[in-house]
Amino acid sequence: MEEGLRGGVCPQLLDLMPNKRDWIVKDDGRGGEMKASQVEVESLELRLGLPATEEEKDPSVLSLSLFYKSSKTTTTTTNNKNHHCAGSKRGFFGTFESRTEGPQQQKTSGANLKDELHQSQERKAAHEVPENASAANMNSQTRAASVPLVGWPPIRTFRKNLATGSSKLPPEPQSGDLQSKVKLENCKKGLFVKINMEGIPIGRKIDLSTYNSYEKLSLAVEEHFRDLLAAQKDPSTAETMKDEEKQVFTGLLDGTGEYSLIYEDNEGDRMLVGDVPWDMFVSTAKRLRVIRSTDLSVIRVQEQYPGKEQQQSVELY
Amino acid sequence: MREERSDMSEDDDGGGEEKDSWAPGLGVAGKSRGAPYPLPPPLCDQVLENVIENVLQFLTSRRDRNAVSLVCRSWYRAEAQTRRELFIGNCYAVSPRRAIDRFRCVRSLVLKGKPRFADFGLVPIGWGAHFSPWASAMATGYPWLEKICLKRMSVTDDDLSRLALSFPFFKGLTIICCDGFSTAGLAVFAEKCRHLRLLDLIEDYFEEEEYEVVDWISKFPQTTTSLETLGFDCLPSAVNFEALEALIARSPALRQLRVNHHVTVDQLRRLMVRAPQLTHLGTGSFRSPEEGEGMEHEAHLVSAFAASRSLVSLSGFREVESQFLPAIYPVCSNITFLNFSFAEITAEDLKPVIRHCHNLQNFWVLDTVGDEGLQAVAATCKDLRELRVFPLDATEDSEGFVSDVGLTAISEGCRKLRSILYFCQRMTNKAVLTMSKNCQELVVFRLCIMARHLPDHHTGEPMDEGFGAIVMNCKNLTRLAVSGLLTDKAFGYIGKYGKSIRTLSVAFAGNSDMGLRYVLEGCPKLQKLEIRDSPFGDPALLSGIHHYYNMRFLWMSSCKLSRRGCEDVAQRLPRLVVEVIRDRPEADDEAVEKLYMYRSLVGRRNDAPPFVKIL
């Protein structure tokens, strides 16, 4: 069925079977997020009946179109899966692939779909007087709104993530046009990588795209950790130890100093920073670490990611 | 402490926080503007001041203290010397330096940052409210600082580290709806803060990956601790349970414990056995950990609750299995606060529990209990002061379980109700009117009809009359949130009768500028006004010029404001910081998407991100 769609990339789809196949879900990780234009395209393409209006007499068509409506306007699912934000990994159709909930959820997730079908058919009947208003709402939402509704109803995101108990940042406001979204910290354009230093529990994030050479990066690393390192050693003399600390950080890149800078690339390998051309480094580095130079050879044989049970100490190593 | 949560949303500061009135020419306010600490008075005055200081020790309400500071310079100085708790409702209204210069002996700080609509995703990430400048200023300015409470601030792990290292007497940290920190910061904090009594994390946001999570519970001092309150129910990652149990065992002063959903009922029981003196308990998951062993767990749990004779507050109840609910029967008649707002239970589940809760004063619940569940509440909880009904499915077209029926029942059964937050899918004017007549002591009325512009579902009329009745009949009303189909008439009522209203939240309401004008011209006590998606434009904005200095903030998003109107306000009120926030960089410059303006003693902030334009 996908071949009938324009636009190539489609978020979650129910593969509606002209061939009477089972429901197939494509999850490309974009959740229920849909832009209005795409929704209209899809609602035309995937409708079994006439593409004219939403209020079809055919109940199966009705419920399907309401699926799209509800997933478009609300990007929510059934119990405990309200995700109202762009880039959420689970939208309505995530029910099929539910992974993380407890037994209660898994039991009911299948049933939820039926409930949703049932509810959506009932919904039309349930609203008598407000039908006009809510129908008008729905129409205005699907037709005119290029901006999905943010922050309504006013429930904290924390409260919406009931099932997993995960608490994510409140969703960034949607602008309907992802390319022109305001560039914020942690956005994709900046190349933020975590950097940890041995002996300091708190890591940092630095933006590689703001540097254009290894020297500048080395200076930045020094800047980030120098004060903290001093404070760790002796809080009361943190201010006066600057000169000494400066020396700690020389030779970061060539292995001559007390500390060395290494990075993990996209394949998980750890390498000394400075070997490859800067651009290549920036595009492959996923994480940085400042370690003692004496530990350099040890890195090679160490496991990449310690398992949970090994992770006892504060230091993230 | 959990009861204080209700208070945090209604900070009852009548006339402002550390500055009092913004009327021009007022000597004291003018005096505090940028001037260094005033010269010491002559000797005879000093004696008087010492006397006053000794008297003022007993004055704790900040409203009273603000009034005292206005009497004369001598009293101003005395008050400044003796204020122990500093409340700053908008971190950008004053600088850390100024606060420290005026109030020298602060032991406890309450600091609030982002506007409330940030909770719903309306404020872009990176907007501000950084705690760091405050942390570093106070490290030198208030070495005796003992308690900090932060709400909607950006707190980093460095900040937590700094707190722990800078304040040797630090006792209590409460962090509400904040972001930016992680378990790594908590670990340093727990380790370095040797005299900690309170650590309460309330609805904070964590962004850690699983492999980044740190075992912070193990970092608490290994000796007997002074911990009285430990709350981490919002933490998404599991904590080291053995370490937690050991911590509880060596914390004899512990009274409040709120764990997260990773803690099973079995583990909970073990903790309760260690701490039978608890007064406030937040459970983890409330279901059987493994299949087929439910009965055993239940029995043990009942005895654990039976042994906890001091419990007055219960919360948690994530992932509830209803057969475990009877375990709490032994404590039901004592509890005054019950938070079921994460428990998906039906009326049938609720009824046998609520029947025992005669002393309940604060009840938070999910709308899955339906009107029937609320009727059961109304039948038993005659002392109820606060009710919050949250929606399971917070969408506009979800099936609603509660309605005007439930609201009416509550109003008839719970006459002492002071605060209500009610999410529903349908409502009638009649029910709201009934509540306004039955519950005359209402202070907070927040009704959220989730479908926008929804009229009375019996009569098809706007909800004007209902809300009008509320403001007319509830003379103590200070906080109001409106919803449903509303015309300017509703705002006319609010302006005419809402003379005590301090906080007003408006969404998708009104017809014209008159709506906003009614409010701005009619409500003299208005301090916090947040509006979204309502057709109010520049003329309405300008009609409030006389009042904005008396307000903490005004938020207007997706209204009809233009750049010119906002600039007009900014020009005429130089002490007002007028922020225009843009989601889209290429958006039309003339139309204002989001306006956030607030009075400030220190002018425009210097940490505004690029999407914020300060006029």
pLDDT confidence of residue B605: 93
Candidates B108, B237, B135, B127; CA nearest to B182 is: B237
Tell me which chain B residues have a C-beta less than 8 angstroms from the C-beta of A172.
121, 124-125
Q: What crossing angle do the helices spanning B429-438 and B464-473 adopt, rounded to 10°?
A: 10
Tell me which chain A residues have a C-beta less than 8 angstroms from the C-beta of B117.
151, 154
Q: What is the mean pLDDT of residues B3-26?
A: 43
Distances (CA, A) of B58 to B18, B82, B106, B158, B299: 18, 9, 15, 36, 49
pLDDT confidence of residue A90: 38
Could you say which residues from 14 to 43 on chain A have a Cβ atom under 8 Å away from some Cβ of chain B? Answer: none
Query: Is residue A190's pLDDT more than 60?
Result: no
pLDDT confidence of residue B96: 95
pLDDT confidence of residue A298: 60
pLDDT confidence of residue B356: 95
What distance in Å separates residue B147's CA from the closest CA in chain A? Answer: 21
Query: Is residue B65's pLDDT more than 60?
Result: yes
Q: Which of A162, A187, A225, A237 to mutate to test the interface with B (most CBs of B within 10 A)?
A: A162
Nearest CA in chain B to A67: B397
Query: Model confidence over B220-232: pLDDT tens digits?
Result: 999 999 999 999 9
Backbone angles phi, psi at B581, to 5 degrees: -110, 130
Q: Kindly determine whether residue A231 and residue B123, on different chains, have CB atoms separated by under 8 Å.
A: no
In terms of Cβ atoms closer than 10 Å to its own Cβ (0-12, 13-18, 19+), residue B4 is exposed
What distance in Å separates residue A311's CA from the closest CA in chain B? Answer: 8
Q: Kindly determine whether residue B393 and residue A76, on different chains, have CB atoms separated by under 8 Å.
A: yes
Q: Which of A77, A129, A188, A311 to mutate to test the interface with B (most CBs of B within 10 A)?
A: A129
Encode burial over A29-60: b for 16+ CB neighbours within 10 A, e otherwise. Answer: ebbbbbbbebbbbbbebbbeeeeeebebeeee
A150 inside 8 A of chain B by CB: yes
The closest CB to that of A153, out of B341, B423, B426, belongs to: B423
pLDDT confidence of residue B9: 55
Q: Kindly determine whether residue B583 and residue A182, on different chains, have CB atoms separated by under 8 Å.
A: yes
Tell me which chain B residues have a C-beta less than 8 angstroms from the C-beta of A201.
184, 187-188, 214
In terms of Cβ atoms closer than 10 Å to its own Cβ (0-12, 13-18, 19+), residue B442 is buried
A158 inside 8 A of chain B by CB: yes
Place of tokens 């604060």: B362
Residue ranges of alpha helices (H) inside B215-264 are: 241-249
Q: Kindly determine whether residue A74 and residue B451, on different chains, have CB atoms separated by under 8 Å.
A: no
What distance in Å separates residue A291's CA from the closest CA in chain B? Answer: 17
In terms of Cβ atoms closer than 10 Å to its own Cβ (0-12, 13-18, 19+), residue A193 is middle
A307 inside 8 A of chain B by CB: no
pLDDT confidence of residue A199: 73
Q: Reduced to 3 states, what is the DSSP secondary structure of residue B423? A: strand
The closest CB to that of A201, out of B117, B125, B187, belongs to: B187
Q: What is the mean pLDDT of residues B113-139?
A: 94
First vs last Cα of chain A: how many Å apart?
Answer: 48
Query: Is residue B594's pLDDT more than 90?
Result: yes
Q: Kindly determine whether residue B451 and residue A180, on different chains, have CB atoms separated by under 8 Å.
A: no
A137 inside 8 A of chain B by CB: yes
Tell me which chain A residues have a C-beta less than 8 angstroms from the C-beta of B398.
76
The more confident residue out of A287 and B453 is B453
Place of tokens 């324009």: A6
The closest CB to that of B460, out of A126, A129, A174, belongs to: A129
A180 inside 8 A of chain B by CB: yes
| Centroid of chain to Cα B105 | 26
Could you say which residues from 97 to 116 on chain A have a Cβ atom under 8 Å away from some Cβ of chain B? Answer: 102-104
The closest CB to that of A173, out of B218, B583, B610, belongs to: B583
Query: Model confidence over B253-279: pLDDT tens digits?
Result: 999 999 999 999 999 999 999 999 999
pLDDT confidence of residue B281: 97
Q: Kindly determine whether residue B161 and residue A202, on different chains, have CB atoms separated by under 8 Å.
A: yes
Average pLDDT, chain B: 90
Write the CB contacts of A298 (distance below 8 Å, at least 6 apart in sequence).
none
Q: What is the mean pLDDT of residues B407-415?
A: 97
A250 inside 8 A of chain B by CB: no
- Distance from C-alpha of A117 to C-alpha of B246, rounded to nearest angstrom: 49
Q: Which helix (H) or strand (E) holds A125?
A: helix A103-126
Rg for chain B, CA atoms, rounded = 25
pLDDT confidence of residue B171: 95
Distances (CA, A) of A250 to A253, A255, B63: 8, 9, 56
Place of tokens 């055993």: B296
A139 inside 8 A of chain B by CB: no
Place of tokens 């002209």: A18
Cis before A153? omega within 30: yes
Q: What is the mean pLDDT of residues B583-594?
A: 79
Interface size between A and B, measured as CB pairs under 8 A: 215
Q: Reduced to 3 states, what is the DSSP secondary structure of residue B357? A: coil
Percentage above 90 pLDDT, chain B? 77
* DSSP secondary structure letters along B177-194: S-BS--HHHHHHHHHH-T
A222-226, B548-552, B565-569, B605-609: segment of lowest average pLDDT: A222-226
Place of tokens 């402490």: B1
Query: Is residue B589's pLDDT more than 70?
Result: yes
- Distance from C-alpha of B258 to C-alpha of B233, rounded to nearest angstrom: 6
Query: Is residue B488's pLDDT more than 60?
Result: yes
pLDDT band at B314, cuts 50/70/90?
Answer: very high
Nearest CA in chain A to B184: A202
Tell me which chain A residues have a C-beta less than 8 angstroms from the C-beta of B211.
305-306, 308, 311
Q: Which helix (H) or strand (E) holds B470?
A: helix B464-473
Which span out of A107-111, A163-167, A185-189, B598-602 was modeled with the highest average pLDDT? B598-602
What distance in Å separates residue A51's CA from the closest CA in chain B? Answer: 22
Q: Kindly determine whether residue B584 and residue A180, on different chains, have CB atoms separated by under 8 Å.
A: yes
- Distance from C-alpha of B453 to C-alpha of A133, rounded to nearest angstrom: 7
What distance in Å separates residue A260's CA from the closest CA in chain B? Answer: 22
Place of tokens 């079995």: B266
Which span out of A52-56, A85-89, B184-188 was modeled with the highest average pLDDT? B184-188
Query: Is residue A184's pLDDT more than 50?
Result: no
A144 inside 8 A of chain B by CB: no
Query: Model confidence over B66-112: pLDDT tens digits?
Result: 999 999 988 898 899 899 999 999 999 999 999 999 999 999 999 99
Place of tokens 């400030």: B600
Q: Kindly determine whether residue A156 and residue B177, on different chains, have CB atoms separated by under 8 Å.
A: yes
Tell me which chain B residues have a C-beta less than 8 angstroms from the C-beta of A104.
287, 319, 321
Nearest CA in chain A to B391: A155
A231 inside 8 A of chain B by CB: yes
What pTM, to 2 d.p., does this model score?
0.69
Tell me which chain A residues have a C-beta less than 8 angstroms from the C-beta of B321.
104
- Distance from C-alpha of B160 to C-alpha of B181, rounded to nearest angstrom: 8
pLDDT confidence of residue B249: 96
Q: Kindly determine whether residue B287 and residue A104, on different chains, have CB atoms separated by under 8 Å.
A: yes
Sign of CA dihedral A94, A96, A98, A99: negative
Q: Which of A156, A178, A311 to mutate to test the interface with B (most CBs of B within 10 A)?
A: A156
Q: Kindly determine whether residue A203 and residue B184, on different chains, have CB atoms separated by under 8 Å.
A: yes
Query: Is residue B319's pLDDT more than 60?
Result: yes
In terms of Cβ atoms closer than 10 Å to its own Cβ (0-12, 13-18, 19+), residue A305 is exposed
* DSSP secondary structure letters along B42-68: PHHHHHHHHHHHHHHTT---HHHHHHH
Candidates A96, A83, A79, A70; CA nearest to A14 is: A96
Q: Kindly determine whether residue B395 and residue A70, on different chains, have CB atoms separated by under 8 Å.
A: yes
Query: Model confidence over A66-107: pLDDT tens digits?
Result: 344 433 443 333 333 333 333 333 333 333 333 333 343 334
Tell me which chain B residues have a C-beta less than 8 angstroms from the C-beta of A151.
117, 120-122, 532
Tell me which chain A residues have a C-beta less than 8 angstroms from the C-beta of B458.
129
Query: Is residue B113's pLDDT more than 50?
Result: yes
pLDDT confidence of residue A234: 52
